[in-house]
Homo-oligomer: A and B are copies of this chain.
Amino acid sequence: MAVNSPLPVAADLKPVAGIDIGYAEAGIKKPNRKDVLVMKLAEGATVAGVFTKNRFCAAPVQVSKANLEAVRAGGKPIRALVVNTGNANAGTGEPGLQNARATCAEAARLLGIDAQQVLPFSTGVILEPLPLQKIVAGLPAAVQNLKADNWFNAAEAIMTTDTQPKAASLTTTIGGHAVTLTGISKGAGMIKPNMATMLGYVAFDARVAQPVLDDLVKYAADRSFNCITIDGDTSTNDSFMLMATGAGTLVIDKAEGADYEALRDAVTGISTHLAQQIIRDGEGATKFITIAVEQGRDVEECRKIAYAIAHSPLVKTAFFASDPNLGRILAAIGYAGVDDLDTTKLDLYLDDVWVARAGGRNPDYKEEDGQRVMKQAEIVVRVLLGRGDADATVWTCDLSHDYVSINADYRS
């Protein structure tokens, strides 16, 4: 089902020195599927993350944020991450927080570290109590099979409505040091920035100071996971974590210089790849759409317009139908909330086809040209605002019958 997204191959996912991965089948929602994941980090590793801005942010998100804050305040470093699927532990109040902390405590006990050194993550149904006992019962098996080359299993263990696991790996040389980066992600609906109901984890084997990693994770998120949307629903649990294991020879102490920039670009590259995989596997997706808004006054207005297009059910169903009903794109631009937009300066392209010129239909535009592009599996919508030099890009997918089926059947 996923659009031009080949299944990752386990052998291509390189172990990252300093991180071991284990998983278990704990039967949280359904039997016989991996649903608990443990990632164990070497001493000296640093961890940074960005989280959902949803006011109903889930209990594990609250605990993860607090534990990361404790590190910044001088506490012991993070040494493990625990992820469960099948239940989001969101909208669960104080008992939810207790369950998230109890998960950390049990993982810490098994690993011989402090509970505060564990970050918990959950994904699944909201508003239902976390089945803590099942997770606790599953953790020993996950800890027992901890090993370096479990990345493919990790990608499978965090899936919910995903049709395929999402993972990427790359090796590069920075300042003469070999660096390996491997990451996984999940998410298929409830995808929108800040954050994109997704979980994303990228590890690499350089040693990076905490403040530098904090900057780096925001930089990469803003150019990858915060540029995707499937349905505009921002989840309660979205998290993107960057883990620098410190097991390699590259050391980065400050957020500047050629080595930092090379690492930053590598991290952003792999994050973008993981984010785009989420869209390619979007619920019911049959098309991968890039929306580029250019010549804006500022990035903010470009993003507003890009998201208005990306979220319009009418635009999305037109893409699904391969119907060049492109007036719907103009309508979405018009209601995007850019109040002083001068539509007479606006041009619209569909790939190389010039559809609208100066706010109206391009006299040279031919329906069959639009039709040709709309039939493609990958389409670029380009909007030129003619009022500045800012730009923004958003990736999204179409809205199909399968989206409705998947979300109407999700819990059944």
Identify the A interface with B (CB < 8 A): 53-57, 88, 90-96, 125-129, 189-190, 192, 194, 231-236, 311-314, 317-318, 320-321, 323, 325-328, 330-336, 338-339, 341, 343-344, 355-356, 358-361, 399-401, 403-405, 407-412
Docked Cα-Cα span, A359 to B356, in Å, equals: 47
Distance A400 CA – B401 CA, assembled complex (angstroms)? 8
Please name all residues of chain B whose beta carbon is closer than 8 Å to the beta carbon of A127 when the two chains form the complex: 326-327, 330, 355-356, 361
Q: Are B233 and A360 neighbours in the complex by a CB distance under 8 Å? A: no
Measured between C-beta atoms, what is the minimum distance from A383 to chain B in Å?
12
Decide yes or no: A323 and B361 within 8 Å by CB, A126-B330, A401-B401 being known contacts: no
Tell me which residues across on chain B come within 8 A of A333, comparing CB atoms.
55-56
| Cα–Cα, bound, A198→B328 (Å) | 15
| Contact A313:B343 (CB < 8 A) given known A54-B335, A400-B404 | no
SS class, residues of chain A in contact with chain B: loop
Copies of the chain in the assembly = 2
CB-CB nearest in chain B for A314: B233
Query: Would you give the shortest CB distance from A342 to chain B, in whole angstroms?
Result: 8
Assess whether A361 is in contact with B189, with CB atoms less than 8 Å apart.
Answer: no
Partner of A233, one of B234, B235, B313, B320: B313
B53 touches A411 (CB 8 A): no
Contacting residues, chain B, for A332 (C-beta < 8 A): 233
Whether A335 contacts B404 by the Cβ 8 Å rule is no
A399 CB contact (under 8 Å) in B56, B88, B404: B404
B404 x A317 contact (CB < 8 A): yes
**B318 pairs with A408, CB closer than 8 A:** yes
Report A140 CB to chain B, min CB distance, Å.
29
Q: Is A125 in contact with B358, judged by CB distance below 8 angstroms?
A: no
Contact B318 A407 (CB under 8 A): yes
**Would you call B404 and A327 a contact (CB within 8 A)?**
no
What are the 5 closest A-B residue pairs judged by CB atoms, nearest first? A126-B327, A93-B360, A56-B334, A127-B327, A321-B408
* B359–A56 CB distance below 8 A: yes
Q: How far is the CA of A154 from the CA of B126 in the complex (A)?
A: 47
Q: Can you list 27 residue pairs at the A/B interface with Cβ under 8 Å? A: A54-B331, A54-B334, A57-B334, A90-B330, A91-B327, A91-B361, A125-B327, A127-B327, A127-B361, A128-B361, A189-B314, A231-B314, A232-B313, A233-B312, A233-B314, A233-B328, A233-B335, A236-B327, A236-B331, A236-B334, A313-B399, A317-B403, A317-B407, A318-B407, A320-B404, A323-B408, A323-B410
Residues of B within 8 A of A331 (CB): 54, 56, 90-91, 126, 190, 233-236
In the complex, the answer to whether A410 meets B325 with C-beta atoms within 8 Å is yes
Question: Which residue of chain B lies nearest to A93 when distances are taken between CB atoms in the complex?
Answer: B360
Chain B: CB-nearest residue to A321? B408
Please tell me if the beta carbons of A335 and B93 are within 8 angstroms of each other in the complex.
no
Which residue of chain B has the shortest Cβ distance to A91 in the bound complex? B330
A116 to B189 Cα, complex, angstroms: 50
Contact between B128 and A412, CB atoms less than 8 A apart: no
Q: Which B residues are CB-close (under 8 A) to A313?
A: 231-233, 313, 399, 403, 407
A327→B234 contact, CB < 8 A? no
Candidates B55, B194, B356, B401; contact of A91 at CB < 8 Å: B356
Check B360 against A91 for contact (C-beta < 8 Å): yes
How many angstroms between the C-alpha atoms of A260 and B49 in the bound complex? Answer: 59
B residues near A312, Cβ cutoff 8 Å? 231-233
Tell me how far the C-beta of A340 lies from the nearest C-beta in chain B, rounded to whole angstroms: 9
Query: Is the Cβ of A360 less than 8 Å from the Cβ of B190?
Result: no
Of A189, A403, A409, the most chain B CB neighbours within 10 A belong to A403
Neighbouring B residues of A231 by C-beta, 8 Å: 312-314
CA distance A231 to B401 in the complex (A): 16
User: Which B residues touch A399, using CB under 8 A?
Assistant: 313, 404
